Every structure is written in C-alpha cells, then in structure tokens.
C-alpha cells in the first residue's frame, strides 16, 4: 500500500484540479464530500458507481432489490456530478454522496459518518484505501458486473505487490464471464462467481418508446455515433461527408462521451458542415434542417439510439476499449464497432460471431460500411434483429446476482 499511497501523493495536484473543475462547472457539486466531509448517513445497502454509465447499468439491479426490500435504505455514491444527476433522476428514493478521493484521511473521515454493513461496487472501481477502510469498519464488500480486460490484467500483474492485496479485499467478485473470473482468480481474489452481465438486463424505459424520436425524424436515414471520444469524431464526420454525396438528407447524431467535449465537437463539425446544431438549442421538429446534430445532453443515449437506423458504438476506433453494445442491441439497431473493444471483449465477440454487429478496422472501412448499409434497409433489419435476439437470450444476470448476494 505504501507504493500506491506514494503515487497518489504525486497525483494530488491533478486530483485537486479535477475537483476544482467540477466545482466550477457544476454549481450543485458538493466538493467537501470529496474530501470526506460527509453528513451522517444510515443505509442498509451502499452501491458505488463511478459515473453515468455505471448508474444506468445498475438500474435493473436496484429496482429489483427495491421491489424485494421496499423499506430498506439505499446509499449511492458517484465520483462525478453527471453521475449524481443520473442517480437523482433514476433513484429518487436513494441518498447520494460523492465518494471521497482515495486519500486515507478523507476515506476514514467519510466512513466515520456512515452506518452500513454492505457495499456493492459496480464493475471494477477498486480504490485501495476505500476497500481497506471499509473492511476495517466491518462492511461486506462485493464487486458486481465485475470485468477485467486482458490488457488491464497484464498491467495489474506487473504491479502484483500492490494488486494482489487489493484483489484479496472484496469478499466476492460477481464476474461478467469465465475469462474475467479466471483473471480475478489469478490476481488473488478470495471468491469469484460468474453471473453474467447485468447490462443485458437493462430495460429500455417506456419514455424512450413514448418519445419515439425515430418517428419524428421521418423517413430520412439517421445514424448515431454514441459515446465518442477524441480522435473518433473526425472519422465519423468524414464518413458522413461521403454519405451526404449519396443521400443528401442523411443525418448524423454525434454524441460525445464527456460533456466537457460538447462545444469542441460542435466546433469541429462546423468546420466540415454548414448545417450543424446542438440538441440543447434546436427542437426535435427542426432536426430535419441539419446535417449533423451534436448530442449535448446526459442520460439520453437510448433516445439517440432509438432515433437511428444504425449505431456506431464509440471508444472503439481508438485504443479506449469501446462502450456497451447491448444498448443499441436491445433496440434492434444495426451496430458498428471499431477494432478496439477490449472493455466488452466477450460480449462484442459473441455479438460479432452471431452476425449481430459489424466490425470496422479503421476510418476507411467505417466509411465503406456506412455507405453500403445506408442503402440496404433489409440487411440493417436482419442485423438489428439478430442483435436483439442475442441481447434477450443473455438476460437474467440480475436475478443470479440477487440470488448469490446475502442482503440480510
């Protein structure tokens, strides 16, 4: 732990700068909580989610737990203000705190204000000081939807002096797949069970279908770049430029992963297109007047996917590892991914094997596939229906997780 704490000390200026940025950009951000100054809180279950993606992923689990234990108290923590906003929207019955930054003094200060015996960590958000102090305080710690890519596994192996004690702290890892489970075992985890991905159990909200953005956009071809990162937007915009030469009324919905990039991506799109809009400024009824709409909103990714005929899942054309392809699959959409999908390797590989998605190795192939599939409605339908059947077949992880976890 001394090595980790030394590295954390060196990173302190960067952490403080991030807290300052949050405070500047989000007026409701409670910076004191990041330093461990929590108001006292009592809960029967504490769930930690890093940000928006994890909050959305855990929604089916929380709702089923709530149905099973309607009178029990729930605490949810996030690192980011956007995650906090999503908690307030999805779980109004839950108490929210910002997770203290992983300085030992901050963590100890926060946990002194907490009365709780059970912590669920969503995915592999493992903070050494947090886990160590939680165990010392008597909390049972379980990691749900636990996944570990080969790349991350090899990185942890290089620092086994730190990683092995870390992976021995949780009482149980509830893993995505057998490959993840084997990696956790190799890193010294006490107990590992394979329960599948709770992200398959994501229920598309009734509001998405009721809003029906797709119907409001008419018969034009619409494709979406979902959760894109720096370096990908240029590739999608270039592909869309080529597409407009064949289908002059085509529309690209470009949805950056991080809100701090909204304005930069808007400016980038303006360099190549005259008709560019921000979702926050233009009503849906007027989107037909534009070539590109920048999705500068949080928590609406499923709405964008529902509006599309074809969905590119971001973070996969660069070495980011890709995001969740299950979301467009549950809407029966044609799915495109890039070559880098190691964050969801098992799910993506299986989806590709059953012909429920198309992999594009680079920008040139992305452009070629977009141009090809834009003119083939029947092929898009077959791809989308295959993806939907695959997603539905793999549901049930939430029930398995709730069966394995003792909530007494």
Asked whether 304 and 295 are in contact (CB, 8 A), the reply is yes
What pLDDT, on the 0 to 100 scale, is given for residue 344?
84
| Residue 14 in domain | no
Average pLDDT of the residues in 214-236: 96
Q: What gap in Å lies between CA 236 and CA 317, rounded to an integer?
A: 10
Q: How confident is the model at residue 5 (pLDDT cuts 50, 70, 90)?
A: confident
Residues 316 and 183 in one domain: no
**Mean per-residue pLDDT, 54-75:** 92
Q: Residue 5: inside a domain, yes or no?
A: no
Please give the backbone phi and psi of residue 395, each rounded to the nearest 5 degrees, phi first: -75, 160
The reply to whether 180 falls in a domain is: yes
Let me know whether 194 and 309 are in one domain: no
Q: What is the pLDDT of residues 246-258, one digit of tens each?
A: 999 999 999 999 9
What CATH number is given to the structural domain containing 319?
3.40.50.2000
> Is residue 221 domain-shared with residue 123, that is, in the same domain?
no
Number of domains forming the structure of the chain: 2
CA 354 centroid distance within chain: 24
Residue pLDDT, tens place only, 309-366: 999 999 999 999 999 899 999 999 999 999 999 888 888 999 999 999 999 999 999 9
**Would residue 263 count as lying in a domain?**
yes
CATH number of the domain encompassing residue 103: 3.40.50.11720
How does pLDDT run across 72-97, given as a tens digit for each residue?
999 999 999 989 998 998 999 999 99
Q: What pLDDT does 52 receive?
A: 83
Instruction: Tally the C-alpha atoms within 13 A of residue 281's C-alpha that lie toward its C-beta.
Output: 10
What integer is the mean pLDDT of 171-176? Answer: 94
Same structural domain, 228 and 309: yes
C-alpha dihedral, 100 to 104 to 110 to 116, nearest 10°: 100
162 and 226 co-located in one domain: no
Mean pLDDT to the nearest integer, 103-118: 96
Residues 226 and 145 reside in one and the same domain:
no
Question: For residue 2, what are the contacts with CB-CB under 8 A and spacing of at least 6?
Answer: none
In sequence order, the 6+-apart residues with CB closer than 8 A to the CB of 400 are 195, 196
pLDDT at position 102 is 95
Assess whether 257 and 383 both reside in one domain: yes
Instruction: Enumerate the active-site residues.
Output: 54
Q: Are 308 and 335 in contact (CB under 8 A)?
A: no
Question: How many CB atoms neighbour CB 377 within 10 A?
Answer: 12
Q: Is residue 95 a part of any domain in this protein?
A: yes
**Is 15 a domain residue?**
no
What is the per-residue pLDDT for 3? 73
pLDDT, residue 216, reads 92
CA angle 54, 252, 326 (to 5 degrees): 30
Q: Do 222 and 177 share a domain, yes or no?
A: no
Q: How far apart are CA 313 and CA 324, in angstroms?
A: 7
Output the pLDDT for position 149: 87
In a domain, 255, yes or no: yes
- Does residue 361 sit within a domain? yes
Instruction: Tell me: do 233 and 337 sit in the same domain.
Output: yes
Residues 259 and 305 both lie in one domain: yes
- Starting at the edge strand found earlier in the chain, the sheet holding 358-359 runs 276-278, 292-294, 251-256, 222-228, 310-313, 334-337, 358-359
Classify residue 139 by its DSSP letter. Answer: -
Query: Average pLDDT in the 129-141 region?
Result: 96
- Looking at the fold, whether 54 and 97 belong to one and the same domain comes out as yes
Answer whether 214's CB lies under 8 Å from 310's CB.
no
Residue 162: pLDDT over 90: no
Helix/strand/coil for 174: strand
The boundaries of the domain holding residue 383 are 206-393
Cα-based distances in Å from 117 to 93, 106, 124, 305, 406: 19, 19, 20, 39, 11
Note the helical H segments in 187-278.
Answer: 206-211, 213-216, 233-246, 262-272
Q: What is the pLDDT at residue 389?
A: 97
For residue 124, what pLDDT band results from cuts at 50, 70 and 90? Answer: confident
Mean pLDDT of 259-271: 96
**pLDDT score for 53:** 79
pLDDT band at 125 (very low <50, low <70, confident <90, very high): confident
What is residue 254's predicted lDDT score, i.e. its pLDDT?
98
Please give the share of the chain, as a percent, with pLDDT higher than 70.
99
Say if residues 224 and 306 touch (Cβ distance below 8 Å).
no
Confidence of residue 51 (pLDDT cuts 50, 70, 90): confident
Q: Are residues 276 and 375 in the same domain?
A: yes
Q: Quick one: pLDDT at residue 250?
A: 97
């Amino acid at each position: 732990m001394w090595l980790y704490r030394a590295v954390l000390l060196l990173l302190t200026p960067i952490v403080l700068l991030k807290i300052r940025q949050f405070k500047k950009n989000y007026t409701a951000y409670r910076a004191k909580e990041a330093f461990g100054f929590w108001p006292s809180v009592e809960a029967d279950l504490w769930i930690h989610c890093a940000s928006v993606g994890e909050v959305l992923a855990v929604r089916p689990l929380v709702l089923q737990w709530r149905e099973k234990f309607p009178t029990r108290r729930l605490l949810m923590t996030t690192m980011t203000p956007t995650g906090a906003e999503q908690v307030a929207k999805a779980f109004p019955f839950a108490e929210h705190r910002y997770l203290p930054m992983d300085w030992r003094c901050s963590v100890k200060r926060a946990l002194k204000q907490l009365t709780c015996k059970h912590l669920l960590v969503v995915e592999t958000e493992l903070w050494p000081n947090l886990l160590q102090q939680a165990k010392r305080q008597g909390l049972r710690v379980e990691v749900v939807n636990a996944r570990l890519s080969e790349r991350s596994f090899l990185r942890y192996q290089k620092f086994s002096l730190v990683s092995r004690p870390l992976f021995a702290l949780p009482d149980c890892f509830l893993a995505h797949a057998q490959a993840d489970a084997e990696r956790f075992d190799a890193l010294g985890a006490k107990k590992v069970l394979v329960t599948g991905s709770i992200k398959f159990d994501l229920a598309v909200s009734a509001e998405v279908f009721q809003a029906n953005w797709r119907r409001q956009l008419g018969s034009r071809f619409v494709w979406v770049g979902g959760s894109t990162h720096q370096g990908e937007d240029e590739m999608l915009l270039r592909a869309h430029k080529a597409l407009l030469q064949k289908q002059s009324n085509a529309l690209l919905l470009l949805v950056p992963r991080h809100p701090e990039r909204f304005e930069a991506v808007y400016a980038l799109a303006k360099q190549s297109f005259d008709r560019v809009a921000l979702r926050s400024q233009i009503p849906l009824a007027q989107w037909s007047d534009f070539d590109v709409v920048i999705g500068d909103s949080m928590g609406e990714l499923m709405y964008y996917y529902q509006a599309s005929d074809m969905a590119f899942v971001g973070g996969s054309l660069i070495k980011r590892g890709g995001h969740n392809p299950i979301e467009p699959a549950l809407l029966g959409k044609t799915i495109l991914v890039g070559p880098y999908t190691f964050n969801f390797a098992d799910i993506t590989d299986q989806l590709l094997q059953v012909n429920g998605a198309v992999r594009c190795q680079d920008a040139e192939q992305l452009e070629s596939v977009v141009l090809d599939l834009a003119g083939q409605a029947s092929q898009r339908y077959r791809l989308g229906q295959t993806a939907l059947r695959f997603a539905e077949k793999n549901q049930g992880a939430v029930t398995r997780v709730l069966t394995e976890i003792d909530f007494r």
